[in-house]
Structure 1
Amino acid sequence: MNQARPIEILLVEDDPGDVLMAREALAEGKVANHLAVVADGVEAMAYLRAEGEFAERARPDLVLLDLNLPRKGGLEVLEELKADSDLKRIPVVVLTTSDAERDIVVSYDMHANAYIKKPVDFDQFVSVVRQIDEFFVSVVLLPPS
């Protein structure tokens, strides 16, 4: 139990159903973490860099990243994030429908912290998001913001 405060989670997801399920899963967690949501890769990078409308945002402690995004794909976001000296320590969990070997290998090559295939079933999806939350709140020591 190392986190004295709720963690800031950035969900990069364009599917409204998946956003709703993630919100539901995190709402019932042991710690009231804050969830910010952006719907594409361009917004994700603006959010991460605190640009424009996101200038006053809290720095994320964790990014949940879909790969299949409009405007800028998740792999591009991951590559930019991990190449940025100010952002590279933020843990990234790829949470996507793809189980393509190439996507898995490339994500880890780009220093994703975990790669999880989204379950199709609602209860399983909620369970997976809760486990991610529990792990990063209760087990992992996160770098200081």
Structure 2
Amino acid sequence: MASDDEQNYQLVTILLVEPNPGDTRLFTESFKDAKLKNDLYTVSDADAALDFVNQRGEYTDHPRPDFILLEPKLPGKSGIDVLTELDDEPTLREIPVVVLMSSKMGEDIVKSHGLDADHYVQKPVEPEDYIEFAQEIEGFSMALVQEESTDN
């Protein structure tokens, strides 16, 4: 029999948009090492991210993410472009987005384009900090998804 915590636990689908394969690997391994139960999908550019959230192309059979972790510096279209397209589409603007920043400047850059994400989070610098970061992201994702479900 499942515990109350397990019964109340809502599996969250997270989309990580990260162009750096090393960071993607650290995120993925950290989620596994932290024994998080969320589904983590990864893409490396804006076009793939938009295809994923729109469930088109190779992502037709993938679930729409409940939560997006977005690196703003992407090859081709930027993370700003992703935020703009999400914001312009009523069915997508409800997906919480956390912008991953290398510095405080990232938040200022996003806001200078007249956009705003749900949260801004500093990316870890050291590999050993990624597990704690993954646990922090799980807390964010659960809070944001629960907040979204109570708003609707």
Q: Does TM, normalized by the shorter one, top 0.5?
A: yes
CA positional deviation for 1:77: 0.4
**Superposition pairs for residues 104-143 of structure 1, below 5 Å?**
105-106=111-112, 109-137=114-142, 139-140=143-144, 141-143=146-148
Given that residues 8 and 62 in structure 1 are in contact (C-alpha distance below 8 angstroms), is that contact kept between their aligned partners in structure 2?
yes
| Greater mean alpha carbon deviation, residues 92-101 or residues 111-120 | 92-101
Q: Determine the C-alpha separation between the residues in 1 that align with 2:58 and 2:76.
A: 18
Secondary structure of 1:143's match?
Answer: helix
How many equivalent pairs are there? 143
CA positional deviation for 1:119: 2.2
Q: Determine the C-alpha separation between the residues in 1 that align with 2:35 and 2:148.
A: 21
Q: What's the counterpart of residue 43 of structure 1?
A: 48
**Residue ranges of structure 1 left out of the alignment (5+ in a row):** none
Counterpart pick for 1:74 among 56, 79, 85: 79
Identity of aligned residues (%): 32
TM-score, scaled relative to structure 1: 0.85
Q: What's the counterpart of residue 90 of structure 2?
A: 85
Amino acid at match of 1:32: K
Going by fraction, where is helix more abundant, 1 or 2?
2
User: Could you say what the CA RMSD is over the residues aligned between the two structures, in angstroms?
Assistant: 2.4
**Residue ranges of structure 2 left out of the alignment (5+ in a row):** none
More RCO (CA 8 Å, sep 6+): 1
TM-score, scaled relative to structure 2: 0.82
- Would the alpha carbon gap of residues 99 and 91 (structure 1) be closer, same or farther in structure 2, given more than 3 Å must change? same
